[in-house]
Amino acid sequence: MRTKRISLYILSQAAKLLTLLIAISILSFMLVSYSPIDPIRAYIGGDMLRVSPEQRANIEEYWGLNEPRVSQYLNWANSILHGDLGTSLLYRSPVAQVIAERFVASLALMAIAWLLSGIFGFILGIIAGMKKGTWIDRLIKGYCYVLSATPTFWLGLVVVIVFSVWLGWFPIGLGTPAGILEQDVSLTDYLRHLFLPALTLSIIGVANIALHTRTKLVETLNSEFIWFAKAKGEKGLKLLWRHGLRNISLPAISLQFASFGELFGGAVLTEQVFSYPGLGQAIVEAGLGGDVPLLLGIVLFSTIFVYVGNLMADILYKVIDPRIRKEWN
Amino acid sequence: MKLQQKEEPLPDLLEKDQPLLEVKDLSLSFRQYREGLRETDLQVISKLDITLYKKEIVAVVGASGSGKSLLASAILGLLPENAFLRGTINFKGKPLSPERQEHLRGEEISLIPQSVSALDPLMKTGKQVQAVIKGKNKKAVQQEIFDKVGLPSKTSNSYPFELSGGMVRRVLAATSLASSADLIIADEPTPGLDPFALKETVNYIKQLAENGKGVIFITHDIETALKIADKVAVFYAGQTVEIAKVENFCGSGENLRHPYTKALWNALPQNGFVPLPGSQPLLSEVAEGCIFHPRCPVKTDLCKKKQPESKSKNGEMVRCFYA
């Protein structure tokens, strides 16, 4: 019974992801194909003047650009199904390889920001919720509202000005020091370059989780079971630990997993400000430089990334919450 | 010599005569903001009196909105922040200050709550009951009490959502049985129970009193109140209008002294089913005179102008000019 339910769940989730990917790929392919991007110009770049119309027609023929859009899409989708995402026009290497390299750099950035913003947001939310109505609650709330209204790129610029330009504590940008060979870069160098982008992304992520946790805690503290727990003589931090945390951590955890989309969006802007060589920067370059295969590849990849986040939130709920867990068994 | 001896009673006599709980002239109001920033006080309880001795069950009876459950919160010190309390609450002869309340909650004063959502949805019921048990072997003590109230042993590992409403009520009653409290406040523990479970719950509560505890039994069900209690305190719009011994609820209510108590008694199906016209006002709606005068069958001009003081005799009390 249980195995059957779990396999059904996996099947339905896989079907959902598949239909989502098909829909996204059709939509983004359409958008790109109607956009003014000229893939041949993007491919040849500055040498365009030296390409004769005949040569151009030959390339178009070779790439299948003369075929109807539907068959162009089917060709592309067919090769993706065979594991070939195409070749990046800007990096001149397979799209899958570019995404893999860039994603590792982004992953470090996003993982740190995700953890830090989750932990600090949760703690700030608890403090504000417990001290509801006091100056410290107002301070935390105000801070979160200001953060929510702050554009990521602007915060990134402020952080660069303060910590790199004025104080000179951290490098201004890039993922590694300029002019040093890859094998000579130390771990400290990596971390020093990672720090400011991660800080920016963490600060931005705090607001959401803190405000949600605060509201949930206030709601929980007003509930009848907290009232009864107090009547039983429980109080203070022990009361919060026994009855509060259990009831607020579930929504916080699932919210944090469901925020992969915002995390990725934030990373795009942050990496741009810091010239940090991650996936976010790659997607901007691909868009501006007309690198269609890379652009579409990253679109599909980020779809899977965000979907996996939401899926994890869903599964965690099923594993942790006894109400859903028992129903599940 | 003889006189001197009378003035110094024996210690255990003093203990016996001293009420466990004494509520005198209690008033409760809520601060409210109306029409923008204008602050007003909404009076919800005034001149509330109740006295409870050990081994005694006092039922608090009244319609919804008469201030019954707020009395429970006031004794426990768990009123909302905007509540303002005046009057005296003495527990074992000493006033209940907020610090003392915080210290005594769960230790000497225990609550059987009204709502079945009083249990933490994410914690196993056994653990929630163990919170009030002192000393070692918490688990064993809790298991023993679950047996006693007829809960299957696996209930201890169940979450509240897995239990029926009746089982949750038993768990809540078990919490009070498990505590070493001397004062039990049962806030409507009976609605929704089938006749069998009702009888059981009534028996647990009687048992608590027999074991030397004092019980305040809050209910709107006068029949259950009469089955269980020694005395009945009748609340009307935030006031105690009468405290009567259970024996006086008989016949056509000729031993009852307040017209509202009589009306309640005679509204029962077996006593004529006579309804009392009108409905309970808000305390703030009756500007002067007796709170009951708009509905009173025996009112006079005096009742419209002046509030009657309470008259006490032999542990009974009434608030009426003509009782």
Tens-digit pLDDT profile for residues A215-249: 999 999 888 899 899 888 888 888 888 888 888 88
| Of the partner residues A225, A321, A323, the one whose CB lies closest to the CB of residue B119 | A225
| Of the partner residues B106, B115, B162, the one whose CB lies closest to the CB of residue A232 | B106
Q: Which CATH superfamily is domain B21-108+181-318 in?
A: P-loop containing nucleotide triphosphate hydrolases (3.40.50.300)
User: Tell me: the pLDDT tens digits for B212-221?
Assistant: 899 999 988 8
Q: What is the pLDDT of residue A175?
A: 67
* Set of chain A residues whose Cβ sits within 8 Å of the Cβ of B105: 230-233
Pairwise CA distance, residues A36 & B188, whole Å: 73
Q: What is the pLDDT of residue A178?
A: 66
Number of helices and strands in chain B (H, E): 11, 12
User: Tell me: the pLDDT tens digits for A114-167?
Assistant: 999 999 999 999 999 988 888 999 999 999 999 888 888 888 888 888 887 788
Cβ–Cβ gap A246/B113 under 8 Å: no
Residues A290-313, mean pLDDT to the nearest whole number: 88
Pairwise CA distance, residues B28 & B79, whole Å: 10
User: Tell me: the pLDDT tens digits for A1-39?
Assistant: 778 888 888 899 999 999 999 999 999 888 888 877 777
A46 pLDDT band, cuts 50/70/90, is: low
Residue type, A147: L
| Cα distances (Å, whole numbers) of residue B141 to A181, B111, B132, B138, B232 | 70, 19, 11, 5, 33
Cβ–Cβ gap A228/B119 under 8 Å: yes
Cβ–Cβ gap B123/A223 under 8 Å: no
Query: Concatenated DSSP letters for B204-225?
Result: HHHHHHHTT-EEEEEES-HHHH
User: Tell me: the pLDDT tens digits for A240-299?
Assistant: 888 888 888 888 888 888 888 888 888 888 888 888 888 888 888 888 887 888 888 889
Instruction: With a cut of 70, list the residues of chain B below it in pLDDT.
Output: 1-16, 34-36, 287
Q: What is the pLDDT of residue B313?
A: 80
Over its C-alpha atoms, chain A yields an Rg (Å, rounded) of: 25
Cβ–Cβ gap B120/A233 under 8 Å: no
Pairing of strands B239-245, B231-236: antiparallel
Shortest distance between the Cα of B179 and any Cα of chain A, in A, equals 9
Buried b (16+ CB within 10 A) or exposed e, A84-104: ebbbbbbbeebbbebbebbbe
| Of the partner residues B76, B161, B179, the one whose CB lies closest to the CB of residue A323 | B161
Q: What is the pLDDT of residue B15?
A: 53
Residue type, A145: Y
**How many CA atoms are closer than 13 Å to the CA of B173, on its beta-carbon side?**
30
Predicted-complex ipTM score:
0.84
| Cα distances (Å, whole numbers) of residue A153 to A102, A208, A261, A266, B156 | 20, 17, 17, 9, 54
* Set of chain A residues whose Cβ sits within 8 Å of the Cβ of B111: 228, 231-232
A interface mutation test: which of B71, B122, B183, B216 has the most A CBs within 10 A?
B122
| Cα distances (Å, whole numbers) of residue A98 to A88, A277, A294, B287 | 8, 11, 8, 81
User: Tell me: the pLDDT tens digits for A170-219?
Assistant: 777 766 666 666 666 677 777 777 888 888 888 888 988 999 999 999 99
The closest alpha carbon to B172, from A231, A63, A56, belongs to A231
Pairs of residues, one from chain A and one from chain B, whose beta carbons lie less than 8 Å apart: 68
